[in-house]
Structures are given as C-alpha cells and as structure tokens.
Structure 1
C-alpha cells in the first residue's frame, strides 16, 4: 500500500524575497516544488500538497485598497479563496509539466477550514501577511486602513491578521477519497478558507490560518505516514545567528519540545513549523521533516533506526536511540 506524505510549502516559496511576484517568477518558482513532489511520487509516496498564501493575499488586499473607488472591496476570506484557486492552478500545471505527462492525476480542492469563533486569536492578530514595510509606512497604513501591524522577525513590518487554530476540514472526505485513489491532491491552500459553523452550514470569517498547522491537522486526519514542512533552508539550526549555530539532522519530539521551550525557534520564522511537527509526531508516532524542496525526498525515505544521510533535512521522530544533544 502506498505511503502518504503531506507536504507544506510557504507562499514565500512562490514569491521569493526580492521578487516582484510576476506571473513568470511564480511559474518558475513552482517548478522546483513540482520536481520535489514528482521525486516523492517516483519513490512510492502518495502526496498531499498544502501551500501558503501570505504574500498573495497581501498583494490582493493592496490591489483592492487601490481600486476601492472603482470596484467594491471583498472580505479577507474571499481573498484566501481566490489565492487558493490561483495557486492550485499554478501548482497543478507545474506538476503536470514536471511529471512529463506521466502523473495519474492532480486534483486541487478549494478547502474550507472550520475554526472556533471563540478562538482568542480573533482578539489578538498575530499572523503576518503581504509585503514588508518600513515602520513609518506601516504605521501610516495602520491609521489609514485600520490594520494591525507589527515587526516580523527583524525583517520589517507587515500587516497582522487573526490566525485561529484549524479544527477540521469541510472537504476531508473528498480529500481522503482522492488520496485512496492515489491522486496528488492540492488541499487546504493558505491553511484553507476560514469558516465557523452556523446553523446547518458555515460562515466565512476574517482570518488567515497558519498553513503549517493546517498541514499538520490534515496529515493527522489522513493518518499520513509523514509530514514535510518545506522552508528555504536545508536544516533547522540551533543558536541561529550566533557563532555557535549548528544544524540539526535528527531530534526526538521531546528534544524538539525542549529546544522550543528554550526559545530556540522564533514564532515569526521556524516556531510554527516546529510546533506543527511536534503535534504531528506526538499524535501519530510518525516522522516530521523540516527542510528545503531539494532535500525533501531524501529526508522522508530513511528507514527506522538508520542515521539520515548528508543530503537529508531535519527529522523529528518519536524517539531516538540516544536522547542526547541533537546534532
């Protein structure tokens, strides 16, 4: 029976730092991820792909603000739906191209994610979206547009929105059925469209769901064999930014929790990935990986009890043979 892996890539993987976010740039960036997914497919994995959408939603919001005098502005969760559709299209085409017509099927699903309306995140927006601004410009936007703004990991200021925890997925049965058929599924894009249960249906809410936590929730719901969180570095680092910085090849979930408790992983960068990995491993006893697209396949295909090779990323496992310092 095929193994299932849920792979999460950030919206910044599609619009990279320093890029304008043109159509050509996004198409080219999607190719690298598509190649990595095809490698996993060739290695026998059934892949579910989750993508971020922060830069894309932020750009759409700016377009809306600038054109508000001509067309009505739309709610944030609709912008999430728009980006879920356009990035699903982008990744589907990239996957077919990378697979040279040999893929049995790629299916993007517009996914609604149910959240709790009482989630404290709604009263404390923390999720950064969109481009970076200098502080004076960000403060001006906060005043003129009613945004909440804040510094993002020392890289500049960004708009902050509510980021409630994902509870379940409206379309989970459809995703599961497609996975059982061996399809490559693109789901929960941008964390999914945030909705709350209301009566016999659902109502959209103004929020952006963290795509790493959504990927973890989806992997748990699908009983996936692995969770891969793709970032722009090959391995997680301890003491990052200091002369003592060192990469982590493998750590147990308890080691990961200890390092997180010691504030090794900032919330604005590696923190959400570590927390998602810990939740997945604790809940399933299986493996989570944090690495870049190039090392993703080599990082999941490591037999139990075997030390990962030099081309692997960072693996978080239920337990290691020796619970010493990760290295």
Structure 2
C-alpha cells in the first residue's frame, strides 16, 4: 500500500466497442472493462485521478448537429465538449463505483466539468489542424466552408472539418479538483482536453477548439501533484522506425533520449506525437515517470511492468 497519485488518461476510442461500436451499451461495456483495472489500482493503494478523450463522442454530437440543423439550433463546439465531459464522467463514475463495490471497497467518485484556459493569440487559431466529425464529399465540404468552417481533403476518405488545437495554459477549475483529490475523492476531470476558454476584459468565454487531451493530462498531473502520468492507448509500446524492417518497441527511455527521437520525426503529430510530448514534459517538469501503454495493460503499466516508461 502507498499513497502515490497517478493521473490516468483514457483515449476516447477506449470507450467504444471492440469493433468501433458507438452505441450506449457498447460504450458502457468498454468503460466497465477499463474501470476494472482502475479499481485494481485503487485496491493497491493508488490515489487515482482520471481524464479522458472524447473524439468519437464529440464527432457523433457534430453529426447530430448537422442532421438536426433545420429543426433545432446547432451547439457550438465548446458546448459539445462540456456535454461529453458530463456523459463520459457519468459512465466512468458509475462503472468505477461498481467495480470497487465488487472488491468490497467504498470510495467517492466525482466528475468535474472542467474549463481549460488557452491563449486568445495562440497561433493554432489561425491554423486549424485537428480533424473532427465525419468525412463528407468535396462539394458538401465547400458548402460548409462558406459557413466559416475549415475543411481539409483527406484523400480517398473525403473531406473532414478541422478546428484549432491550442496549447492548454491552466485548468481553470484546478482549486476544486485539488481540494476533492486532497479530500480523498477519485476525480474525473478535464475530459476531452477541457472546455476551451479564453480570457478577455469580461472574464472567460468559450471558444470553438479542441485542446489535445494528452497535453491537458500532463497539466492535470502537475496540478494535482501526481508522481506518475499514465497514457492509455491502443498499443503496448511506443514504436520507432514504424513500418520499416528496423521497427522496434521502446521500453524504458530517458526523457532526453525520447526528445531526441521526437526531434528526428519518429512520432506522427496526429497520433503518437502528442502522447510522447506529454510524457516528456511531465518528466522534465519533475514527474517521476510517464508511461504509454495499451488500455488492457493499464494496471501493469502503472506498476512499471510494461509499456514505454519515461524517466529523467
């Protein structure tokens, strides 16, 4: 038993069925499987803080926006992020409490709707790069572009909307999160990278953007004083020389060596790149270890038994 804090970042795809099913029962089953491992860690004495992606969930909301646009007003993207935080937080809290109860443990779990501040002048607002929502034919994408949306050609799949992905500066609701963690709650916070807000003369206002959830997870881990950051993905290890005869998995690696590999272009910006960057920053800023591994190896990863383990 110990009292180390660990922030666990679950990917949005981790909350889908085995074949990508996005209906409510499939998402519920996927979350229940993940929470079995989290409950195991709580039973071992870890103080767990959870965060999560929301790409598939927000994408589905945007489809609903499009299909119902002539019936009800469409919701802005920051509202969609807030809605998915609540939905996923509800699923996670219920599933984790049930997993704990099966171990005869009673632990308070709470989901916090969390705003994350970004800079209004972040260059990302001028260069949207984050793809969201469904693929559309070129003609329909051009119609959407006339409505102040940015769309990009993704080849044979079609065109897809892209939105800004600014850097997270601070978790606005950090005091509430920290007080709950200090009081012994298992907290779910900053889902989907957080609800993006900027500060102006009137205070905070929401903006249409998607903050990278791995960079926000790193910020959350530093905010709550976690000794470890665990990033759950769909592979057991980070790979270098991907897709070549020289491909190999990374086990234990220093943050400096991993930075060197990142600078050499080993990790794609839209997939493993942000996870690697979050792991490096966490360790560089004083974290004991950051681990990138598959969801089904989550508990082993926290115990530093598998995965790509990043240390100073």
The TM tier, using the shorter chain, reads over 0.9
- Does 1:107 pair with 2:110? yes
Structure 1's unaligned 5+ residue stretches are 303-308, 319-327
User: How does 1:102-251 map onto structure 2 within 5 Å?
Assistant: 102-131=105-134, 133=135, 137-146=136-145, 147-150=149-152, 158-199=160-201, 201-251=203-253
* CA–CA distance in structure 2, aligned partners of residues 250 and 184 of structure 1: 28
**Superposition deviation, residue 269 in structure 1:** 1.0
| SS, match of residue 204 in structure 2 | strand
**Superposition deviation, residue 138 in structure 1:** 4.7
* CA–CA distance in structure 1, aligned partners of residues 290 and 159 of structure 2: 30
Q: Where does structure 1 differ by over 3 angstroms across 4 or more consecutive aligned residues?
A: 149-158
Structure 2's unaligned 5+ residue stretches are none
- Does 1:313 pair with 2:307? yes
* CA–CA distance in structure 1, aligned partners of residues 81 and 90 of structure 2: 14
User: How does 1:260-299 map onto structure 2 within 5 Å?
Assistant: 260-299=262-301
User: How does 1:21-60 map onto structure 2 within 5 Å?
Assistant: 21-60=22-61
Closer, same or farther: CA 295–143 of 1 in aligned 2, 3 Å:
same
Closer, same or farther: CA 109–285 of 1 in aligned 2, 3 Å:
closer
* CA–CA distance in structure 2, aligned partners of residues 49 and 157 of structure 1: 33
**Superposition deviation, residue 156 in structure 1:** 7.2
- Does 1:68 pair with 2:69? yes
| SS, match of residue 227 in structure 1 | strand
**Superposition deviation, residue 189 in structure 1:** 0.7
| SS, match of residue 101 in structure 2 | coil
* CA–CA distance in structure 2, aligned partners of residues 36 and 52 of structure 1: 18
* CA–CA distance in structure 1, aligned partners of residues 182 and 165 of structure 2: 31
Q: TM-score, normalised by structure 1?
A: 0.88
Closer, same or farther: CA 67–289 of 1 in aligned 2, 3 Å:
same
C-alpha RMSD of the superposition = 2.0
Preserved CA contact (<8 Å) 1:277 1:289? yes
Q: How many residues align?
A: 306
Q: TM-score, normalised by structure 2?
A: 0.92
* CA–CA distance in structure 2, aligned partners of residues 282 and 53 of structure 1: 27
Closer, same or farther: CA 103–244 of 1 in aligned 2, 3 Å:
farther
**Could you tell me which residue of structure 2 aligns to residue 322 of structure 1?**
none
